[in-house]
């Protein structure tokens, strides 16, 4: 049996596409392994959101050169970086056999057959990014969580982001296809369904059927079975009242909402082309908390965007302080070639960005601890993920609000929902015991 390795970089959409690549290769008779030294084929599923992505990928290709020389390993590059670089990637690195954009992974069997025939030096598939890719079965590493793309591409053109240029304009998947996939994964035993899109709450804007994100969520919740629905990422400018109402009345929808902030400064938000102000974001967060009791909010935040002053940064700290995110993904701005922000005047020194990022992290850590403390003595419904990586005698799971919980219990509970009373709270984890309530 031939061995294959899949290495994934980047976002949840790439994780989903890697799960599909895994299924394709398994159907072709490949054994999926993590041992590169034993691989007959290696696929790097790449990201291009950050400038440093290229360095990481080039470094991995350097590692693969020796394996290829020893075993004749077939090397394939898929994903956004492959879509962006195309044929130039194969020219720069002759060891690459296959370059394949994120819309084209269904052609992997054809590409492998061509390379194995010896008649082709390289196989390049990098179009058309405006087409909906075929719906493919997936084999997820987690037997509890399955993900489903509901849109592809993006129409927002935030000035720091390359995604619309490599994934194309936004296209919605027909609702019937999505519902069929949800049913299939629930029947397979998955307990958590993650809906994916660059901007999930603009789902349906390009469809002539009148379907929208609220309707999609409502229909998913009608599907029989015990499961939890999560989604990433919504855009604040499109977060409608009907979506809040659907979430509030359906316990199948997780009470954790990721609401990217990016900056707390209205001036910087305008430069980012985010299409909302500081005040509008804060009003939206307050409305969500009122209409969806028990909800937790998380965010993405960028510090050091071009022209960000100390006053602008203090606006960001003000939003974080007042909203109280349970957690946040925090980054220093890094220029991305091909985006409008990369050529803006007012680029900040690295040291200024580092100092601001640390201040933001310190504040968010305090807010995360405050949020954790609110769980003390509460009973939470938890999806059991399995034994803890640090202590196999303890189980780990997540609440509807996506909080990690550690507790004693039988390993056979993996993949089920249990009630856990929270006895102790740390910044990132809760500790409790299973109860029958």
pLDDT digits (tens, 9 = 90+) for 57-101: 889 998 999 899 999 999 999 998 898 888 899 999 999 999 998
- 384 plus 362 within the same structural domain: no
| Confidence check: pLDDT of 129 > 70 | no
Which CATH number belongs to the domain containing residue 254 in this structure? 3.80.30.20
Contacts of 122 (CB under 8 A, 6+ apart): 87, 90, 96, 97, 98, 99
Average per-residue pLDDT for the chain: 93
Cα–Cα distance for residue pair 44/74, rounded to 1 Å: 11
Per-residue model confidence (pLDDT) at position 252: 97
Q: Are residues 168 and 295 in the same domain?
A: yes
Query: Residue 102 pLDDT more than 70?
Result: yes
How far, in whole angstroms, is CA 188 from its chain's centroid?
22
Which whole-number Å values give the CA distances from 173 to 17, 136, 152, 213, in the listed order?
Answer: 15, 13, 8, 11
Of the candidates 123, 188, 137, the one whose C-alpha atom is nearest the C-alpha of residue 25 is: 137
Q: Does residue 190 lie in a domain region? A: yes
109 in any annotated domain: yes
Q: What is the mean pLDDT of residues 181-194?
A: 96
pLDDT bracket for residue 131 (50, 70, 90)? low
The answer to the question of residue 41 being in a domain is yes
Pick 228 or 1 by higher pLDDT. 228
Tell me if 260 sits within 8 A of 231, measured CB to CB.
Answer: no
d(CA 432, CA 399): 12
Domain final position from 125, 154, 187: 125
Q: What is the pLDDT of residue 347?
A: 97
Domain termination site, one of 333, 349, 373: 373
Question: Are the CB atoms for 228 and 254 separated by under 8 Å?
Answer: yes
Q: In this structure, is residue 134 part of a structural domain?
A: no
Residue 326 and residue 408 share a domain = no
pLDDT at 437: 63
- Based on the number of CB atoms within 10 Å of its own CB, is 179 exposed (0-12), middle (13-18) or buried (19 or more)? middle
Please tell me the predicted confidence (pLDDT) of residue 49. Answer: 76
369 and 393 belong to one structural domain: no
Instruction: For residue 135, tell me if it sits in a domain.
Output: no
Residue 131 lies in a domain: no
- HSE-CB of 43 using CA atoms within 13 angstroms: 31
| Exposure letters 350-377 (e unless 16+ CB within 10 A, then b) | eeebeebbeebeebbeebbeebbeebee
Closest listed residue to residue 60, CA positions, set 113, 9, 14: 9
CATH number of the domain within which 100 lies: 3.40.50.12160
**Is 185 found in the same domain as 154?**
yes
User: What is the band of 135 on the pLDDT scale with cuts at 50, 70, 90?
Assistant: confident
* String of DSSP letters for 60-83: HHHHHHHHHHHH--EEEEEEHHHH
Do 116 and 190 sit in the same domain of this protein?
no
Lowest mean pLDDT of 39-43, 81-85, 199-203, name the range. Answer: 81-85
Kindly report, residue by residue over 385-408, the tens digit of the pLDDT. 999 988 888 999 999 999 999 999
CATH of the domain at 389: 2.40.50.140
| Co-location of 346 and 205 in the same domain | yes
Give per-residue pLDDT as tens, 258-288. 999 999 999 999 999 999 999 999 999 999 9
* Alpha-carbon span 30 to 160, nearest angstrom: 39
Same domain, 166 and 39: no
**Whether residue 121 sits in one domain with residue 43:** yes
Whether omega before 128 lies within 30 degrees of 0, making that bond cis, reads: yes
169 found inside a domain: yes
Are residue 188 and residue 336 in the same domain, yes or no? yes
Question: Which helix (H) or strand (E) covers residue 110, if one does?
Answer: helix 108-117
What pLDDT score does 221 carry? 98
Residue 156 pLDDT level (bands cut at 50, 70, 90): very high
Structural domains counted in the chain: 3
Q: Is 177 within the bounds of a domain?
A: yes
Point out the domain boundary residue: 327, 342, 373: 373
Starting at the edge strand found earlier in the chain, the sheet holding 256-258 runs 256-258, 296-303, 327-332
Q: Which own/partner contact pairs does 292-295 have at CB distance under 8 Å and 24+ positions apart? A: 292/244, 292/247, 292/248, 292/255, 292/257, 293/248, 294/255, 294/400, 294/401, 295/247, 295/255, 295/256, 295/257, 295/401
Q: What is the pLDDT of residues 103-113, one digit of tens each?
A: 889 999 999 99
Q: The domain containing residue 401 runs over which residues?
A: 379-435
194 shares its domain with 246 = yes
Q: Which element (helix H / strand E) includes 183?
A: helix 175-187
Helix, strand or coil for residue 240? coil
Same domain for 404 and 288: no
What does pTM read for this prediction? Answer: 0.90
Cβ-defined contacts of 160-165 (< 8 Å, 24+): 160/272, 160/302, 160/305, 160/333, 160/336, 160/339, 160/341, 161/49, 161/336, 161/339, 162/48, 162/49, 162/80, 162/84, 162/336, 162/338, 162/339, 163/49, 163/80, 163/198, 165/84, 165/338
Q: Name the least confident of 49-63, 159-173, 319-333.
A: 49-63
Q: Strand, helix or coil at 312? A: helix
Q: How far apart are CA 200 and CA 17, in angstroms?
A: 17
- Residue 33 CB neighbours (<10 A): 14
């Amino acid at each position: 049996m031939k061995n294959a390795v899949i290495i994934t970089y980047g976002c949840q959409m790439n994780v989903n596409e890697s799960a599909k690549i895994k299924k394709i290769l398994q159907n072709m008779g490949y054994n999926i392994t993590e041992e590169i030294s034993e691989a007959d084929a290696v696929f790097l599923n790449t990201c291009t959101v950050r400038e440093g992505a290229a360095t990481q990928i080039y470094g991995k290709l350097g590692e693969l050169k020796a394996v290829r020389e020893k075993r004749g390993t077939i090397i394939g590059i898929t994903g956004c970086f492959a879509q962006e670089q195309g044929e130039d990637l194969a020219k720069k690195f002759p060891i690459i056999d296959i370059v394949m954009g994120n819309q084209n992974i269904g052609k992997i069997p054809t590409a492998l057959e061509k390379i194995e025939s010896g008649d082709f030096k390289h196989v390049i598939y990098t179009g058309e990014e405006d087409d909906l890719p075929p719906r493919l079965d997936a084999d997820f590493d987690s037997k509890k969580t399955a993900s489903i793309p509901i849109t592809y591409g993006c129409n927002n053109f935030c000035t720091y982001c390359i995604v619309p240029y490599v994934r194309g304009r936004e296209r919605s998947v027909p609702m019937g296809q999505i519902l069929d996939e949800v049913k299939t994964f629930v029947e397979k035993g998955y307990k958590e369904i993650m809906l994916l899109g660059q901007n999930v709450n603009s789902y349906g804007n390009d469809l002539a059927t009148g379907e929208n994100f609220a309707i999609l969520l409502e229909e998913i919740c009608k599907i029989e079975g015990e499961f939890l629905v999560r989604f990433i990422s919504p855009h604040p400018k499109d977060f409608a009242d009907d979506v809040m109402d659907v979430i509030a009345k359906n316990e199948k929808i997780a009470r954790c909402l990721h609401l990217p902030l990016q900056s707390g400064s209205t001036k910087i938000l305008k430069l980012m082309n985010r299409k909302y102000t500081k005040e509008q974001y804060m009003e939206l967060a307050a409305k969500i908390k009122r209409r969806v009791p028990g909800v937790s909010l998380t965010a993405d935040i960028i510090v050091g965007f071009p022209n960000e002053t100390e006053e602008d940064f203090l606006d960001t700290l003000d939003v974080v302080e007042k909203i109280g995110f349970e957690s946040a993904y925090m980054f220093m701005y890094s220029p991305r070639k091909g985006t409008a922000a990369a050529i803006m005047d007012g680029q900040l020194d690295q040291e200024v960005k580092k100092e601001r990022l640390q201040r933001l992290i310190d504040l968010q850590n305090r807010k995360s601890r405050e949020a954790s403390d609110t769980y003390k003595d509460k009973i939470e419904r938890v999806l059991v993920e399995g034994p803890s990586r640090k202590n196999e005698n303890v189980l780990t799971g997540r609440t509807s609000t996506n909080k990690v919980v550690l507790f004693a219990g039988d390993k056979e509970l993996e993949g089920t929902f249990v009630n856990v009373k929270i006895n102790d709270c740390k910044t990132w984890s809760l500790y409790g015991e299973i109860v029958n309530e």
